[in-house]
Amino acid sequence: MPDRSPSAVESDETGRSRRVHPLVEHAAAYSWRLVAIAVAVAGIIWLTGQLLVVVVPLAVAALLTRALAPVAVVLRRRGLKPALAAAATLLGFLVVLVGALGLAGATVAGELDELGPTLSDGIDDLTDWLIDDSPFDVSRADVERWREEAGDTLSGFLGSGEESVVAGATIAAEVFVGMLLALIVTFFFLKDGRRMVDAGLRAVPNERRDVARKATGRAWDAAGGYLRGAALLGFVEGVAIGITLLVVGSSLVAPVMLVTFLAAFVPIVGAVAAGIIAVLVALATAGTGPALIVAAVALVVQQLDNDLLAPVVYGRALQLHPLVILLGIAAGGTLFGLIGTFFAVPFLAVTLNMLDEVRNGTTEPAAA
């Protein structure tokens, strides 16, 4: 008997029927599902943007917990109660953080304020070279237009995800509240994190619980690998750039090293930005020749880190194609501004590692 279902048959004006092409039928079936998924994703992104004041402290607390958990575990094994171990770990972290900030402040005091004007001088020197000595046909009006467009783009990028421009006092208050909330959440994560994870796993069906447990462990390892890798690579790059600046006779060595270290937490893009800053500082304070030397060293160090150190340091925690990292950083910055650029890579690392573990757990029984 011929198939006369509405999805497979259409009636024309003469009563004759014709079958819908299978490609059209499958495309229609997938289209509305993709539309539903897109709407759900857009809703999640919108809701995340509205709740950044909560989401960001939670993300910071998650990373802090991953960094401090080994210390809390050691204290528990030595007989401390969970609450006391969490409090001691967090208090120790705050003492170390304040000490490190004080040391860094004493080191870069009087120099950090000069970094901005120095970078501006370096850009001016580069502009003069482009106009007067470079082989390119560039006028000063062209350069000024490019700088204005770049400034507008950067301002829009840093302000993206915000409904309006708020006062500096409001931003400071939000940062303070966010830091306080992150510390409180970190305490409870250190104290009750295992119980929270176990409670979440109990909500998963029995047949999927083992896969969920492995995916959770994979996410934990990915977050730890990201933090360890970014810190180690930032330290290596910062020391290499700092030594080079000292050798060529440049100033502002400590601020550039600090910027280089922090920029390592945004892979690829951060290293490139830190290298450009180092070159501009050398250009403004030491001259063209030293700036070229700094540029060459920065390029070599970044290549060595990317090709040799990064695969070993990150392991499988950050086995992401550079294009995925670049697109993730761009998407995070477009959606959530500067905050999105910092959290894009750890979010991708954790999410993709979890999905990979779920996929492996789904396919292994069938293969067996």
Bigger pLDDT: 144 or 299?
299
DSSP 138: -
**Alpha-carbon span 41 to 324, nearest angstrom:** 18
Residues composing the chain:
368
Which helix (H) or strand (E) is 217 found in, with range? helix 206-248
Share of the chain above pLDDT 90, in %: 16
> Whole-angstrom Cα distance, residue 124 to residue 111?
20
274 and 259 Cβ atoms separated by less than 8 Å:
yes
What is this structure's pTM?
A: 0.72
Bridge partners (DSSP) listed for residue 19: 9
Q: Determine the pLDDT at residue 366.
A: 39
Contact between residue 251 and residue 227 where contact means Cβ atoms under 8 Å apart? no
Task: Give DSSP secondary structure letters for 257-304.
Answer: HHHHHHHTTSTTHHHHHHHHHHHHHHHHHT-HHHHHHHHHHHHHHHHH
Closest by alpha carbon to 90, among 112, 49, 61?
61
Q: What's the chain's average pLDDT?
A: 79
pLDDT in tens, 256-300: 888 898 888 887 788 888 888 888 888 888 888 888 899 999 999
User: For 151-198, what is each residue's pLDDT tens digit?
Assistant: 666 555 555 444 444 445 566 677 788 889 999 999 999 999 888 988
pLDDT in tens, 308-367: 777 776 766 677 777 888 888 888 888 888 888 889 888 988 888 888 888 876 655 433
Say how far apart CA 215 and CA 354 lie, in whole Å: 5
Structure tokens at 318: 């950050």
Between 143 and 295, where is the model more confident? Answer: 295
What are the distances in angstroms from CA 80 to CA 61, 73, 83, 91, 188? 22, 10, 8, 15, 15
Q: How many alpha carbons fall within 13 Å on the CB side of residue 172?
A: 3
**pLDDT at 13 > cutoff 60:** no
What is the number of other CB atoms lying within 10 angstroms of the CB of residue 132?
9
Cβ within 8 Å of residue 68, ≥6 positions away: 89, 90, 93, 186, 190
Token code pair at residue 214: 């492995």
